Structure 1
Amino acid sequence: MIAGFGLAENSSVVLVASMLISPLMGPIIGFTFGIVIKNRELCKLSVRTELIGLSICLGYGFLFGLITGAIDNTSARYGADGVWPTYEMQARGMLRSLWVGIFIALPSGAGVALAILGGNTGSLVGVAISASLLPPLVNAVIG
């Protein structure tokens, strides 16, 4: 819900807040651990949990898009300054953003590994922000 409002209000601060509380990173870490320790049950559980989380985010984004689309008319246009899609939505819908996201996610994964091995879990917050799937996922179905 927070990501939807952040996208609609064109607020990068609200989007960062949604990334901080995103539940989508835990299953990814669980899957990685499952592979490392060769635990198939952990891998299966992590994939299932991630798919459920992704489905919930897609469903909410779709509902948010329906609601904001229903109130969208010429006299009461929803969105920051009446511009729809907002800049934050446009930026997450470009092919270039996908490639940039991939190149950010690779070193972020290394950051998670180093943080956990070194016992420095405080840096996981930065990794969660940089590799967050939540805003692009919600953005994908708002339109």
Structure 2
Amino acid sequence: MLHLRLITPSDRTEAVIRLIEKTVGTTHLAVVPGAARNPVGDLVMVDVAREAGDELIGGLRELEIDTVGSIAVEDIDLSLSKRADQAEADAPGEGVDAVLWEQLTEATHEESTLSVTYLAFITLATMIAACGVVLDNAILIVGAMAVGPEFGPLAGFSTAVVRRRPRLALRSLTALLVGFAVAMAVTVLFSLLMDGMGLFTEDMLEADRPNTAFVYAPDAFSFVVAVLAGIAGTLSLTSAKSGLLVGVAISVTTVPAAANAAVALSYGDTSQTAGSTNQLLLNLAGITLAGTLTLLTQKWLWSRQRR
């Protein structure tokens, strides 16, 4: 169940109430006239089944409540109510299959913003991965994958394509490209520093690396894994199972490939640089394609299910 807290101008409150009452899957409607002060208006609260949430939020936006008032949405972890149980039973479809497009857009918008924190995480992840590839240490590679925040912009770009939001697409693409460019540039400097300290050597990079050689040797499996990870990651976002994103993060080699490309570039190894770059691009393309197709499929299946 979802809990909606609305601030509505007094002249639109009746229209909002009518919309809520005709939406199948709503319950616990409460109206407090004149309670809101900023902006001035009435306070309306209602619980709605997740599978009916997108329809209700869409209707509220058509009434421009998001412009002249406020729409706040919260997940309800526990609701002990027969009315809530009945509302969920009445709403068409299953809540776990429902996609809250406004919530998804907002979440990916936040995750795909080019911020100092985002740059710090992707740079630190790439530097950790650099240590992993030079030392041929799979544990460091897995750790770097988990730290990397690059799935946010990838999901944001897929969402933007499906929802036809060019500004979100541009924001996501900018965060992705600038983020990796900065991370790789800093990692080149980091590699040179580590070499000067005697902690990195070219021999270590060129040696047999059975645990990490895959990051500069892309093959068909690289694309297949990226596609599967893109599907899993998108489903975890749309079903609010964000904990699964950690598993998605450690199944693709975007950050390790970027790290290996940076280290190889610092030593002038164009072969490994090219191979790692191809691995990076292959993973980015696979995740983006899978994410977009998954969202399109969910949108189509949900529309059929509701009909």
TM-score normalized with structure 1 length: 0.81
**Unmatched runs of 5 consecutive residues or more in structure 1:** none
Deviation at 1:9, TM superposition (A): 2.0
Please say if 1:39 is aligned against 2:160: no
The counterpart of 1:108, out of the listed 229, 233, 244, is: 229
Q: Judging changes above 3 Å, is the alpha-carbon distance between structure 1 residues 37 and 58 closer, same or farther for their aligned structure 2 residues?
A: same
Q: Secondary structure at the match of 1:130?
A: coil
Corresponding position of 1:131: 252
Corresponding position of 2:25: none
Write out per-residue CA displacement over residues 93-142 of structure 1, whole angstroms, 9 at most, x where no aligned residue: 2243xx32211011111112222232211111111111241011110121
Q: Is the 8 A contact 2:137 2:212 kept in 1?
A: no
Corresponding position of 1:90: 213
RMSD: 2.2
The counterpart of 1:49, out of the listed 142, 151, 175, is: 175
Deviation at 1:71, TM superposition (A): 5.0
Q: Distance in 1 between matches of 2:134 and 2:151?
A: 23
Corresponding position of 2:155: 29
Q: Higher Cα Rg: structure 1 or 2?
A: 2
Q: Quote the sequence identity (%).
A: 24
Deviation at 1:67, TM superposition (A): 2.9
Deviation at 1:64, TM superposition (A): 3.0
Deviation at 1:85, TM superposition (A): 3.0
- The AA in structure 2 aligned to 1:23 is P
Q: Distance in 1 between matches of 2:168 and 2:143?
A: 28
Please say if 1:5 is aligned against 2:131: yes
Q: Is the 8 A contact 1:57 1:134 kept in 2?
A: no
Higher relative contact order (CA 8 A, sep 6+): 1
What are the equivalent positions in structure 2 for 1:52-63 lying under 5 Å apart? 52-63=178-189
Q: Between 62-71 and 109-118, report the one with greater CA deviation.
A: 62-71
- Bigger helix share: 1
Aligned residue-pair number:
135
Write out per-residue CA displacement over residues 16-67 of structure 1, whole angstroms, 9 at most, x where no aligned residue: 1111110211111111111122111000000001011110222123223323
- Bigger strand share: 2
Q: Distance in 2 between matches of 1:84 and 1:4?
A: 10
Q: Distance in 2 between matches of 1:61 and 1:89?
A: 17
**Unmatched runs of 5 consecutive residues or more in structure 2:** 1-126, 265-307
Q: Is the 8 A contact 1:3 1:135 kept in 2?
A: yes
